[in-house]
């Protein structure tokens, strides 16, 4: 992957080939977004625009054929990259990704309205089996409210997947930038990532209170969970780097996350919230890879 990053940064033509080619190929839109974010982070928005503009053509073509993901992830990742370049703050990037997720949800809800509603209808049929006797204890109004939450929650889940994809694409671009110009810088940034108490509490409130404030706001539940989950991952990386946890914890975390996501994902969110209040890593300065990952001093 480093060789690909070196090729992208070799010149405008090479960067254009990678960004446009990846956008045109199926399921490689994340690579296009990562390469575009690398150019933006290193050279700025002006140079990146001339390259990314060509990638809009295949992205719009994919949208025309019913798949808006390429354009959404490309533009969303570049927006987050510009925010990171301006602030050098992953905390702001992750919290800002919630707003990006809301935009994703609005677009996906419009483009995929029929499939989402069909899936929600199938889930409604399975609800009696899934909830069992608990459903019988709900009033008719509560059952109707529960059914009304299905479409927004499904839309939010789809948007959260693109939100995660955008953050991961940006992380890949930032990792490439650090590998080329400031080795260790990206690792230092991620290990130091921690949400202050107020943003963490607001994200938790968005997850828990969104559905009760209105059916449409139920989409906030999956969207607000993404920054907390990434922060929980950063916490584990930071503790391992400080030697407070063995490396096997890191390997085990990713293995169990893949196998038992429904259990590990909420645990990461809980860790992020508790860390915002306690700060497990303390105020120690990282020993290596200090400074931002851009390598520009």
pLDDT (tens digit, 9 = 90+) per residue, 97-150?
999 999 999 999 999 999 999 998 888 888 777 766 666 677 777 778 788 889
Position 164 pLDDT exceeds 90 = yes
Q: How confident is the model at residue 94 (pLDDT cuts 50, 70, 90)?
A: very high
Across 15-19, 92-96, 174-178, 279-283, least confident range? 279-283
State how far the Cα of 206 lies from the Cα of 267, in Å rounded to an integer.
17
What is the structure's pLDDT at 211? 86
Query: Would you state the pLDDT for residue 134?
Result: 67
> With contact defined as beta carbons under 8 Å apart, do 5 and 182 qualify?
no
Q: Are 256 and 213 in contact (CB under 8 A)?
A: no
pLDDT per residue as tens digits for the range 232-243 = 999 999 999 988
Q: What is the pLDDT of residue 288?
A: 46
- Mean of pLDDT values over 225-251: 92
Least reliable range by pLDDT among 86-90, 129-133, 200-204, 223-227: 129-133
For the chain, give the percent of residues with pLDDT over 70. 93
Question: What is the H or E stretch that residue 119 is in?
Answer: helix 113-131
pTM, to two decimals:
0.91
Q: What pLDDT score was predicted for residue 294?
A: 67
Q: How far is CA 71 from CA 30, 64, 196, 199, in A?
A: 10, 11, 32, 29
């Amino acid at each position: 992957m480093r060789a690909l990053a070196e090729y992208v940064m070799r010149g405008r033509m090479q960067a254009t080939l990678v960004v446009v080619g990846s956008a045109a190929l199926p399921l490689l839109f994340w690579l296009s977004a990562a390469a575009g974010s690398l150019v933006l982070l290193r050279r700025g928005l002006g140079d990146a625009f001339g390259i990314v503009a060509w990638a809009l053509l295949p992205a719009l073509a994919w949208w025309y054929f019913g798949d808006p993901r390429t354009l959404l992830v490309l533009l969303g990742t570049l927006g987050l990259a510009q925010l990171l370049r301006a602030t050098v703050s992953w905390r702001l990037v992750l919290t800002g990704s919630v707003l990006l997720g809301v935009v994703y949800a609005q677009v996906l809800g419009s483009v995929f309205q029929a499939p989402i509603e069909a899936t929600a209808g199938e889930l409604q049929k399975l609800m009696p089996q899934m909830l069992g006797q608990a459903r019988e204890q709900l009033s008719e109004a509560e059952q109707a409210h529960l059914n009304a939450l299905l479409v927004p929650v499904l839309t939010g889940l789809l948007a959260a997947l693109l939100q995660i994809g955008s953050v991961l694409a940006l992380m890949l671009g930032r990792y490439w930038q650090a590998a080329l110009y400031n080795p260790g810088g990206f690792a230092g940034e991620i290990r130091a990532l921690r949400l202050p108490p107020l943003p963490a509490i607001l994200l938790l409130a968005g997850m828990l209170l969104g559905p009760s404030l209105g059916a449409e706001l139920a989409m906030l539940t999956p969207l607000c969970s993404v920054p907390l989950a990434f922060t929980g991952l950063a916490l584990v990386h930071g503790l391992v780097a400080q030697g407070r946890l063995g490396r096997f914890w890191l390997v085990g975390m990713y293995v169990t996350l893949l196998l038992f996501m429904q259990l590990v994902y909420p645990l990461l969110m809980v860790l992020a919230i508790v860390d915002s209040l306690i700060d497990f890593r303390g105020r120690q300065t990282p020993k290596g890879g200090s400074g931002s990952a851009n390598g520009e001093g």
